[in-house]
Structure 1
Amino acid sequence: MIAAASKPKSGWKEWKLGDLGVVVTGKTPSSNNPADFGNDIPFITPTDYKNYHKTASSAERLLSFAGADKLKNKILPAKSVMVTCIGSDMGKVALNTIPVVTNQQINSIIPDIKQVHPDFLYYTLIGSYDVLRSYGLAGTAVPIVNKTDFEGITVSMPPLPEQYAIAVVLSSLDDKIDLLHRQNKTLEGLAGALWRKVFIEETNPKWEESAVVGKNWTRF
């Protein structure tokens, strides 16, 4: 059994991940059946996590409905908590907002909402990153946490009402962070558009080239 990241606080209880919901290890469709891939159900791999802040609603590859049907016991409903469990990407966590399928490098929990708030579980596993990494590196050339070991990881959880309260606060902060990221991207796009407009599309014909520190610069 993998130890919890810290001792439980007063009123909190230790739980095994396997007791907090259904653990699902993903699977990759056979490459011999290209029709299993299409444009319908996101097929998430660790590579996709670079595009996620907290939530996941898309992937670089998608399955067809026919392909997903072959893996129907691997389809994750919205609000499942997906954790990368092998290789250099181990320990990354995301929360899906639509039904998805993952590959075998990801273990996911379909939370039992009578026991755990999905967002609180997400933040708990974010905080367990070092525990996952240290366990995965123990005794293997390639770091890995298999399904059985993943189910045995223990985490500390408060009563459900407290989980909700904590999740609301942390989710609000995450929303603000996400908004700032999107605003930064918008400003970067505006700056790039302004640069193109002023210095490329509407170059002043009176400008002339001048050598400055060994490079050609344009000046009025």
Structure 2
Amino acid sequence: MVIILNDNLVDLAQNIFNKILNSTKLELVTISDIGTVTGGGTPSKKNSTYWNGNIPWISPKDLSNHIRLFTSHGENSITQAGLKNSSTKLLPKNTILFSSRAPIGYLSIAKNQIATNQGFKSVIPDKGYPYWFIFELLKTETPRLINEANGSTFKEISGGQLKQHKVKIPKHTDIMKYNSTFDALFQKMNQLEKENDTLNQIKNNLLRKLF
């Protein structure tokens, strides 16, 4: 079942973000100036010791099945051995998960530590810019990124392309003026998703008892 967010809050966040971009002086930077871009990987499926561990691991398919603002896990998980013996990485909470192929542009925020497959080029907010800003910026930039994608079989954005993608953003001090407002909005949307999960669980339990 697709999770339905409060569309009013989503639209409100988008509208405030657009006003920030249109009401202040902007400076040209790259995505790598505002966060660390990192890829993912897939542990060998021939080795059973790499799978069904306690580390959440997602692919773009997980986001297509459950469109939501915050993501805590997908259908699969890996072990420490799987993490160690593959190119996937353990991403910190609030990393922006951005699908870079098949398709380009699924976006979510890591609710906890999580790993991804190679279908993601995620952005870790470790350079002083808040996670909400990077999320809204990548959402705004997705059409341009799709246009810049390469590939004959399917379009893909490479890590290098995302790192060097140029964007115009407000000064850091101007961005941080809105931090408390956006943080409250995103936490409210996170809470709504939790409540929706609880309601879905109650509904499913009732249906199992009835049928």
The normalised TM-score by structure 1 is 0.70
Contact 1:8–1:156 under 8 Å retained in 2: no
User: In the TM superposition, what is the alpha-carbon distance from 1:177 to its structure 2 partner?
Assistant: 4.7
**Any residues of structure 2 matched to 1:120-135 within 5 Å, and which?**
120-135=133-148
How far apart are the structure 2 equivalents of 1:185 and 1:37?
Answer: 25
Q: RMSD over aligned Cα, in angstroms? A: 3.2
Q: Of the two, which has the highest radius of gyration?
A: 1
Residue 21, structure 1, aligned to residue 55, structure 2? no
8 A Cα contact 1:83 1:92, kept in partner: yes
Distance 1:47 1:171, change over 3 A: farther
Q: Which residue of 1 aligns with 2:102?
A: 87
Identity of aligned residues (%): 23
The answer to whether the 8 A contact 2:40-2:87 is kept is: no
Decide whether the 8 Å contact of 1:22 with 1:109 is kept in 2. Answer: yes
The residue aligned with 2:70 is 55
The number of aligned residues is: 190
Report the equivalent of 1:153. 165
Alignment match of 1:45 (pick from 59, 79, 87): 59
- Unmatched segments (≥5 aa) in structure 2: 1-20
Q: How has the CA–CA distance of structure 1 residues 113 and 97 changed in structure 2, closer, same or farther, with 3 Å as cutoff?
A: farther
Partner of 1:216: none
Q: Provide, for residues 55-90 of structure 1, a one-character-per-residue CA deviation record: whole Å limited to 9, x for no partner.
A: 2211210011221233487221222111101023x1
Aligned-residue offset at 1:18: 2.0
Segments of structure 1 that go 5 or more residues without pairing to the other structure are 1-6, 202-220
Whole-angstrom distance in 2 between the partners of 1:26 and 1:125: 18
Contact 2:88 2:117 in 1 (8 A): no
Say if 2:96 and 2:131, in contact at 8 Å, map to a contact too. Answer: yes
Cα distance, 1:93 vs. partner?
1.4
- State the match for 1:217 in structure 2: none
Q: State the shift of 1:29 in Å.
A: 0.5
Q: Give the C-alpha shift of residue 187 in structure 1.
A: 7.1
* Compared CA separation, residues 173 and 34, structure 1 to 2 (3 A): same
1:112 aligns with 2:133: no
Q: How does 1:134-173 map to 2 (within 5 A)?
A: 134-136=147-149, 140-173=152-185
Of 138-147 and 181-190, deviating more is: 181-190
Query: Given the superposition, is the C-alpha separation of residues 30 and 133 from structure 1 closer, same or farther in structure 2, using an over 3 Å criterion?
Result: same
The answer to whether the 8 A contact 2:91-2:115 is kept is yes
Residues 45/172 of structure 1: CA separation in 2 closer, same or farther (3 Å cut): same
CA distance in 2, matches of 1:196, 1:21: 45
